[in-house]
Amino acid sequence: MDNASLTLSPSAAARVSAIAAKTGKPAILRLSVEGGGCSGFQYQFGLAEAPDAEDLVSETDGVKLVVDPVSLDLVSGCVVDFVESLGGAAFRVENPNAVAGCGCGSSFAV
């Protein structure tokens, strides 16, 4: 199912595409949410072989972002970006549902 409530930025799509090309995997980034981290929930990223039947799928520049239904409740409306800075390079989630976050940007609270 396609839905515009989750967005992969062009810079994140380019990074996923580059990683997929190096590893020989499909250009599919899975975003999931797990309990833990500094603020209660933390984001998990990984390459997926294929979307699962119940996943929400969003596509940018030929790269798919997939999220399971349970995680989607916590990340609906998000933008996944790839940011490079002096501190390093990382995928970053801009989450309008988060009421609090941590300095590292990898965990949040709702």
Kindly report the CATH number assigned to the domain that includes residue 77. Answer: 2.60.300.12
Which residue type sits at 73? D
The reply to whether 88 falls in a domain is yes
Q: Kindly report the length of the chain.
A: 110
The reply to whether 56 falls in a domain is yes
Summarize pLDDT for 65-86 with one digit per residue, the tens: 999 999 998 898 999 999 988 8
Q: How far apart are the first and last CA of the chain?
A: 25
Let me know how many helices (H) and strands (E) the chain has, helices first.
2, 9
Q: Indicate the SS3 state at residue 64.
A: strand
The reply to whether 1 falls in a domain is no
**Single pTM value for the model:** 0.84
**Domain range spanning residue 20?**
7-109
The reply to whether 23 falls in a domain is yes
The reply to whether 104 falls in a domain is yes
CA distance 76 to 62: 21
Q: Specify the number of domains making up the chain.
A: 1
Which alpha helices (H) appear in 24-79, and where do they start and end?
69-75
The reply to whether 28 falls in a domain is yes
The reply to whether 2 falls in a domain is no
Summarize pLDDT for 19-62 with one digit per residue, the tens: 999 999 999 999 999 887 676 788 899 999 999 999 999 999 99
